[in-house]
Structure 1
Amino acid sequence: MHRFVQVAFVAFTLGIAWRSLYDFGWAFIFMLVVTAVLAFVIRALGVVRTATTSFMLIGLLFVAIGVARMHIAVPQIVLDERLGSKVSFVGTVVREPDVRETYTNLILESEDFAHRILVRAPQYQDFRYKDEVRITGKLDIPKNFEGDTGRVFNYQGYLAKDDIRYIISFPEVEILVRSETLTGFLFKLKRTYLDSLKRFLPEPSAALAGGITVGERRSLGEELTQAFRDTGLIHIVVLSGYNIAIIVMFISAVLAFLPEKPRFTVAIIAIALFTILVGASSTVVRAALMGSIGAVGAMVKRTYSALHALIIAGFVMLLWNPYLLVYDPSFQLSFVATLGLLLGAPLLVPSLKFIPEKFALREIIAATVATQIAVLPLLAYMMGEVSLVALAVNALVLPIVPLAMLVVFLAGVAGLANYAVATLFAIVAHGLLTYMIKVVETFAVLPFAKVALPQFSLWIVGLAYVILGGWIVVLARRKSSTKQKENLPWVGSQE
């Protein structure tokens, strides 16, 4: 059954990707779905019984489902006749305001528009979630742009995943109504926590502290943020699945005193609230879903499979928003990195016997190597450059990230109640954060820290992953021959 789930998910994603790139129309999709359903009925009636044929039929069915789901998600865009002209309307802020160095991004919904509007507002105003505002400015549509490496970023598609079809830059903004909601309260709680960190930690330590605990990285500054990118460590600042996994473990440890079912119930609620608090990006949602699936599995006494949790999380997210697959780099990198971790890390551990096991160093290095290899083709295609120091920097920094997150959190919370205790935690946190920053800055200035790559076809990315997949299969067969098959999360029954 495990293999069927994996085949179905791969086919579903292929269907979404296929429709994202090509528009076939409903007639073709209808024929594809009918063919798939008929094939599935034939299989159910027992006309064909071989496993290979069953895989093909299930694959065909879920390709059809993926194509149909993406086709339904694509709206019939009718360009607003007000494009290019000055408009005035009332809208509601539906996401946490994104404060940048010179402006604030607001995502609005308005009865005057069928889709969301991205507003780049003046920074001096204090905008909040669910504020009702009046906007007066020039209506435009987002435009794709070319990055420093010559890659064209599909900005329209990236915003479309959030149903954003219009943009207004630096309009007149008037706040009409303030609203109080649970989500707004969580955002306010986060701001209070960040203010506490800033009182006890100097910059840029305070900015990094906010990044590794609640994903707040704006105050890092462009230069230091770029250094984290160049050294392949930006994932810890933007709150990746790695950070979320650590937070889930923290929550489980704190709730260990509770009976089993209440503990897991409270853990799921805590994970959900934290996901909202940090902004519910695709990376965070994926990790939160996997953590929640694990908690539910423990409640019903089912064995937890991280790979199946990843597949379920991916399927649910793509079923809800199929735009994530092609137009959200964060989702792509997070999913591929996690897949690389689950499939590759267990296979690499036996080859790293020269690394000591103390402090789980061998497992950390194996996980780092596996995830770096997994994201390399995709990252090279997207960014047009590759960090040559990422492996070394990750190996030097990742082992202390859990401790740094814990001490930073304690400093921020203690800062709301006890100055002396907060100062003590802040001293330790500052030392750890300074070490992380110094490692990044030292490696970022090396002349070989990163290399630029010429543009290449997406087919090369696909070929790279085929080769990686073959390499994993070869290593897995070697490992299974040594009777270690049970350690591989993706090896399961084909029944």
Structure 2
Amino acid sequence: MNNERILILIFSGFGAGIAIRSFVNIGLPVVLFILVLAVFSFVFWFVRKNIIFISFFIFLSALSIGILRYQFKDMQNISSELKPYADSEVVVRGIVVDEPDERQNSTKLLLKAEEVFNWSEKKWISVPGDLILVNAPRYPEYKYGDKLKIEGRLKEPEAFPSTNPGQEGRVFDYPAYLAKDGIFLEIFYPDLEKEGEGGSSVKRSLFYLKNKYLESVSGVLPEPHASFLSGLTLGAKRSMPAELLDDFRKVGVIHIVVLSGYNVTIIAKAVASVFRSFLPWGASIFLGMSGIIAFAIIAGASATVVRASIMALLIYFAQATGQIYRVSIALFTAGFFMLLHNPKLLRFDASFQLSFVATLGLIYLAPKLEGLLNFIPVKFKNVREVLLATLSAQIAVTPIILHSMGTFSLSALPVNALILITVPFAMLFGFLSGVLGLVSQIMAFPFAWLAYVILSYDLKVVEVFSNLPFSELNISYFPFIAVVVVYAFLGWFVFFKQKNKWPGGN
């Protein structure tokens, strides 16, 4: 048995164990039974030397490890020091450990608790770093590393009805969604007092540069163009109107203004296509990969950014070398270590799901669908490549979107084709205007004007298509078993369907 097959068995078994445990509460006796089967498989292999038995041994061992890893993660909960204060008024000291999530009228802060005030003993008690989600007013502004004292009502998160159109009867498991990141407590609009600063100096510097750039963009472009550009370049949707975000979702281009691998892989593909129109092939690939790394650094190198950037880099490597099989092993290796670090990503993190599946779509589906677009003339090669990337990624992620959100955009393909071809230029001119605006708004004006024209065109396309009847299809119920069936069919289409079925392509 070669090394690649062993890795595939390990990754598939580990992932299956996590997936099963995320839906079914499996006890230790079942895990022990699986391990016993694994031992028997090993014994039979030792006696018979049959590859089937050693395959079962590897798969079942990885399956049990995946179940145990999820079980260990699921044991995390509120610390014993803070548990007595849940659902009561508290005074807590802590530090903001992530970039604030700024919304139109509010801000979400992730606070790592350090001390809680004990009212009966009249003293501060140390706590082991519980994470608290603080829902605060939009102003005054706080930033990463701020040491805060907060006073308000501490409570455990609660599930709430879904607000997605057509899914009014479904309940969103908000506690499980937060628990994947180790958050088990939240507090709404407390009294806040800044007491100092701390945290990593490197992350503070990165976030400072990012915020200065976003302020510069806001200074050279009006709204909603500034927010749109912030979303394009760094995945930041500062003050972007909720109605506009809904329009982006409706026409299937929300991925260009949110931070996920779906965002990075689609846009990176579009950028590479434009680079190749006036640069040598190798130079376009190098610049594209360098741009992804620069994006990860400027965006703050958070876990979500790093995951998205890894997926995008793997796509570039696949295109540069043509070694799809080896890139697939690298992709599954990256996914394995991400799940080893946090197994709850598999079920409760849409960003991870979309990143991983969209990357698979671009690696495997794109070559299979290429022949469908041969009717587009060669002189419109960039348009064809953008359409191919959009189509393959859209097909790959649609089952997840239908299951989790219940929406399907009927206008996604034409809107992506009309917008993504302009995205590299909007990003280029917008980025230059933001950087030059740090020095002088006069220097930034020519590039800001070009960015404004392109962004206005993109926003107009979204407006026109979002107002069309039947631009979005709402599906009230798309069961998980349907997701499994669709992906089984896609797997058959990619790996078992006869080649050259489509005219003019594989």
Q: TM-score, normalised by structure 2?
A: 0.84
**SS at 1:216's partner residue?**
coil
1:212/1:239 contact within 8 Å kept: no
2:260/2:354 contact within 8 Å kept: no
How far apart, in 2, do the equivalents of 1:481 and 1:207 lie?
41
**SS at 1:110's partner residue?**
strand
How far apart, in 1, do the equivalents of 2:424 and 2:314 lie?
22
| Deviation larger for 163-172 or 7-16 | 7-16
Letter in structure 2 aligned against 1:137 = G
Q: Which residue of 1 aligns with 2:406?
A: 384
Does residue 1:323 correspond to 2:324, yes or no?
no
- Aligned ranges 1:326-405 → 2 under 5 Å: 326-357=347-378, 358-405=380-427
How much has 1:365 moved relative to structure 2? 1.5
Percent sequence identity over aligned pairs: 40
Q: Which residue of 2 aligns with 1:202?
A: 222
Q: Structure 1 residues 409, 356: closer, same or farther in 2, change over 3 A?
A: same
Q: CA RMSD in A?
A: 3.2
Q: Which residue of 1 aligns with 2:61?
A: 61
Q: Structure 1 residues 273, 351: closer, same or farther in 2, change over 3 A?
A: closer
- Aligned ranges 1:81-480 → 2 under 5 Å: 81-112=84-115, 113-114=127-128, 115-148=130-163, 149-150=167-168, 151-179=170-198, 181-241=201-261, 243-245=263-265, 274-275=295-296, 277-280=298-301, 283-290=304-311, 305-357=326-378, 358-475=380-497, 477-479=498-500
1:333/1:375 contact within 8 Å kept: yes
Q: Which residue of 2 aligns with 1:27?
A: 29
Q: Which residue of 2 aligns with 1:49?
A: 50
Q: Which residue of 2 aligns with 1:16?
A: 18
Which stretches in structure 2 are left out of the alignment for 5+ residues? 116-126, 276-281
How far apart, in 2, do the equivalents of 1:293 and 1:366 lie?
18
How far apart, in 2, do the equivalents of 1:343 and 1:294 lie?
11
Letter in structure 2 aligned against 1:96 = E
2:101/2:107 contact within 8 Å kept: yes
**SS at 1:118's partner residue?**
strand
Q: Structure 1 residues 276, 38: closer, same or farther in 2, change over 3 A?
A: farther
How much has 1:307 moved relative to structure 2? 2.1
**Count of matched residue pairs:** 467
| Deviation larger for 173-182 or 213-222 | 173-182
How much has 1:273 moved relative to structure 2? 6.9
How much has 1:189 moved relative to structure 2? 0.6
1:379/1:386 contact within 8 Å kept: yes
Q: Structure 1 residues 398, 282: closer, same or farther in 2, change over 3 A?
A: farther
**SS at 1:111's partner residue?**
strand
Which stretches in structure 1 are left out of the alignment for 5+ residues? 254-259, 486-495
**SS at 1:469's partner residue?**
helix
How far apart, in 1, do the equivalents of 2:376 and 2:478 lie?
36
Once the two structures are superposed, residues 52-87 of structure 1 have per-residue CA deviations (whole angstroms, 9 ceiling, x without a partner) of 555444322221221111111112546822222101
Q: Which residue of 1 aligns with 2:122?
A: none
2:106/2:138 contact within 8 Å kept: yes
How much has 1:18 moved relative to structure 2? 0.9
1:108/1:117 contact within 8 Å kept: yes
How far apart, in 1, do the equivalents of 2:197 and 2:495 lie?
56
How far apart, in 2, do the equivalents of 1:440 and 1:297 lie?
32
**SS at 1:218's partner residue?**
coil
| Deviation larger for 224-233 or 456-465 | 456-465
2:415/2:461 contact within 8 Å kept: yes
Q: Which residue of 2 aligns with 1:257?
A: none
Letter in structure 2 aligned against 1:11 = G
How far apart, in 2, do the equivalents of 1:20 and 1:243 lie?
26
How far apart, in 2, do the equivalents of 1:425 and 1:461 lie?
45
**SS at 1:345's partner residue?**
helix
